Structure 1
Amino acid sequence: MRFLPSAIAALILSAAPAFAEFTISFDWGDIPLCTTGRPGKVDNPRFVIKDLPEGTTRIVFRLKDLDVPSYNHGGGKVTVNADGVIEPGAFRYKSPCPPGGSHTYEWTAKAQAGSKTLATAKARRDYPN
């Protein structure tokens, strides 16, 4: 009996379970306006997390300035909570602070169980916007 490769692929895909994608969203909140290129330490923004992988015990956050990716803005680690919201004050990081204009920043969140990364989500936003 011969099966066409596309028929086999269709059969496998139809039998595979559908998984929701882990996502994060955020807003900058009440951080002080900074456009000097000299960021200060501020509380994390409010994050909303959806479809966190089962077994996640913590989330590791990192901020990157996509216009100056070599600059380390830091981030933090938080224990997972049931409502999917990380409120400001869970960790501190170096604020966005582009000199003389707007930059695009990206938060990366890694869902972890112990030292194993289960999934990664990213969210971008300009600052100032």
Structure 2
Amino acid sequence: MKSVIAALACLALTSPMASAFEIGFDWAGLKLCTSGNPNTVANPTFTLRGVPAGTRYIRFRLVDRDVPDFNHGGGVVAWDGSSTVQTGAFTYKSPCPPAGKHTYEWTATAQSGKSGGKLGVAKARRNYPD
């Protein structure tokens, strides 16, 4: 029994681990908005890492963590296997806090179909304005 446990432990240590699904972005090029009236703008460039196998679409959604009920929107893009989603793939309502900084969070959901089939979720947060 000990040899079976030792073999399983060894296998767990030597098997390649699947990397976690991660996204990154920044606010580069985004026109400053602090009026509380967001602009409709093109998405930022997203960097992707560890996209789950079987992903055909990625759904993006922006949430203001300080005002989570405000709908900033997002979009769904067909994923072509690249490590980036370029700006202009969809439009959304820009960050535009009326007073001070807010924390914004993009959620990316990897999907097997355009309307569903969730395979994984990644999130990235940044303050705006930086």
Structure 1-normalised TM-score? 0.87
Query: In structure 2, do the counterparts of structure 1 residues 12 and 70 end up closer, same or farther at CA, with 3 Å as the change threshold?
Result: farther
CA RMSD for the aligned pairs?
2.0
How far did residue 12 of structure 1 move?
9.9
In 2: Cα distance, 1:13 partner to 1:26 partner: 36
Listed as ranges, the gaps of 5+ residues in structure 1 are none
Query: Cα distance, 1:30 vs. partner?
Result: 1.2
Aligned partners of 1:83 and 1:116: how far apart in 2? 20
Q: Distance in 2 between matches of 1:42 and 1:61?
A: 14
Q: Which residue of 2 aligns with 1:82?
A: 81
Structure 2: stretches of 5+ with no match in the other structure: none
Q: What is the match of residue 119 of structure 1?
A: 120
Task: Please name the residue that 2:28 is paired with.
Answer: 29
Residues 75-84 or 115-124, more deviating: 75-84
Report sequence identity in percent: 51
Instruction: Tell me the SS of whatever aligns to 2:12.
Output: helix
Task: Report the Cα offset of residue 19 of structure 1.
Answer: 1.5
Report the equivalent of 1:18: 17
**Misfit runs of 4+, over 6 Å:** none
Give the drift of 1:122: 0.1
Describe the shift of the 1:19–1:41 C-alpha distance in structure 2 as closer, same or farther (beyond 3 A): same
Find the aligned partners of 1:25 and 1:63 in 2 and give their Cα distance.
13
**Aligned residue for 1:44?**
43
Q: TM-score, normalised by structure 2?
A: 0.87
Distance in 2 (alpha carbons) for counterparts of 1:12 and 1:63: 42
Structural mapping, 1:66-105, within 5 Å: 66-105=65-104
Question: Structure 2 CA distance, aligned partners of 1:111 and 1:102?
Answer: 29
